[in-house]
Amino acid sequence: MAGALAVDPAGIFTLAWAEGNTILAVRSTAGGAWSSPATVLAAGGASNGRSLAFDASGSGWAVWPSSATSPSCGSVSGARFVPGTGWSAARVLSADPSFGAVAAKIVVASSGAGTLVLSGNDCSSGAPGSTGPVESASLDTAGNVTGTVELLNGSFSTPNFALAGNSAGDAHAAIVSYGYFVDGAFGTSMVLSKHAGSAWSLPFTLLSNSLGFNFPPVVARVAAAPTSGGAIAVSAAANGPPVGPGERLLQFAQFSAGAWPSSPSFVRPEAPDVLNPAIDVALDDLGRATLLRSEVSDLSQSQQVLLARLVPGFGWTPDVALSNSGPVEGQIRVALDRDGHGLAVWINRDGSVSARRFQ
């Protein structure tokens, strides 16, 4: 029942989720009521890995892996949204027999030009392989996919990745790559960036470990400001106490003047028994970021949804608890419109969807 959340330039929020293999979507303005659910796909979509994005006119795409099973060697499908018309019939956008998508993300520029990033299985042998390649491609308004390039193919890449873009067509992909030794796990969370019409950059490292000395990063999220060119990336490690006085579970980095910094920074010290299983981040044109995360205590197993904001020149605000009921791991989303109105969405343990507005 993983959700996708996006906001268009007019401030209309769209939330899509799956019930079984059916994909549904609802829409709302910052202060308005939610629409009735619209069926984007009646059956046959994967239950995870979908994404939403909209251009300057409010038109956009929902994309998802076609296969409802994982691992698989399925294709990528999508549906086009046009204001006043609604959702088009779903169609296959990319069908590469050597690549099996398990997650699909999309960003769309003001012009309608889209960038796809796909994580999946190496199916060149005819069956899902052990590596986890990540690919990028361009998507036009007619649904044509061109210019596929490989971003990563080593160890294992997780489908738990993120993609963000701005109105100019710049894009940033946050990816976690991991593997295993006999004595533990190792992994790296990274961000790759590209300007519209240019190639992807080399990776910028957010969190990394080696040889099982501590728990590896398990999630990375990235957000782009709508028009300013700024971006922010956040990554969290799995769990476990800090190894030394300088190590924490949650780090972030800000992209400005066309580059990432020399190294990431800590969001704040975390208690030794606190886990960070789910995070999401949003950014406005003034450089104000909103971080949404769920935390579960390793000792008490209590879980809550927390929101903090990054104010330029002042740092991160104290956490505000939005819920103590606890979301399903990984099911947490946040978005900001251009006026600073925000929407936080999470999925509760009983399967219900909760949403909170903020400003």
Nearest to 12 by CA among 334, 359, 337: 337
Q: Is residue 127 part of a domain?
A: no
- Does the CA dihedral 197-202-205-209 come out positive or negative? positive
At 150 the pLDDT is 84
Tokens 């946040």 correspond to 334
Q: Which two tokens stand for residue 326?
A: 């606890």
How many angstroms separate the Cα of 191 from the Cα of each of 37, 129, 204? 34, 24, 5
Among residues of the chain, what percentage have pLDDT more than 90? 38
At 211 the pLDDT is 39
274 and 187, same domain (yes or no)? yes
**Model confidence, pTM:** 0.89
Among residues of the chain, what percentage have pLDDT more than 70? 75
Rounded CA separation 68/74 (Å): 9
CA torsion 110-292-15-60 (nearest 10°) is 10
CA torsion 310-316-319-323 (nearest 10°) is 20
Q: Choose the weakest-confidence range: 41-45, 254-258, 292-296, 321-325.
A: 41-45
At 104 the pLDDT is 87
Which range among 17-26, 152-161, 319-328 has the greatest average pLDDT?
Answer: 17-26
Residue 216 in contact with residue 238, Cβ under 8 Å? yes
Q: Is residue 212 part of a domain?
A: yes
Nearest to 3 by CA among 40, 35, 43, 36: 40
Q: Choose the weakest-confidence range: 55-64, 118-127, 180-189, 313-322.
A: 180-189
What is the residue range of 198's domain?
Answer: 160-359
Q: Is residue 216 part of a domain?
A: yes
Rounded CA separation 284/340 (Å): 7
Burial of 201 (0-12, 13-18, 19+ CB in 10 A): middle
How confident is the model over 343-353, as pLDDT tens digits?
998 877 777 77
Higher-pLDDT residue of 10, 215 = 10
Q: Report residue 118's pLDDT band, with 50, 70 and 90 as the boundaries.
A: confident
Region of residue 229 (left: phi > 0; alpha: psi -120 to 50; beta: else): left
76 and 164, same domain (yes or no)? no
Interior/surface letters 269-280, b for 16+ CB within 10 angstroms, e for the rest? ebeeeebbbbbb
Domain total in the chain: 2
Q: Report residue 268's pLDDT band, with 50, 70 and 90 as the boundaries.
A: low
Q: Which two tokens stand for residue 275?
A: 């886990």
92 and 193, same domain (yes or no)? no
Which range among 65-79, 83-97, 128-142, 205-219 has the greatest average pLDDT?
Answer: 83-97
5 and 113, same domain (yes or no)? yes
Taking 80 as the threshold, does the pLDDT of residue 82 lie above it? yes
3-state secondary structure of 40: strand
Residue 64 in contact with residue 84, Cβ under 8 Å? no
Residue 50 in contact with residue 2, Cβ under 8 Å? yes
Q: Is residue 106 part of a domain?
A: yes
| CATH number, domain with residue 290 | 2.120.10.10
Q: 224 Cβ partners below 8 Å, 6+ apart?
A: 107, 164, 165, 166, 170, 171, 172, 230, 231, 283
At 177 the pLDDT is 79
195 and 262, same domain (yes or no)? yes
How confident is the model over 169-214, as pLDDT tens digits?
999 999 887 665 445 556 788 899 999 989 999 999 888 765 344 5
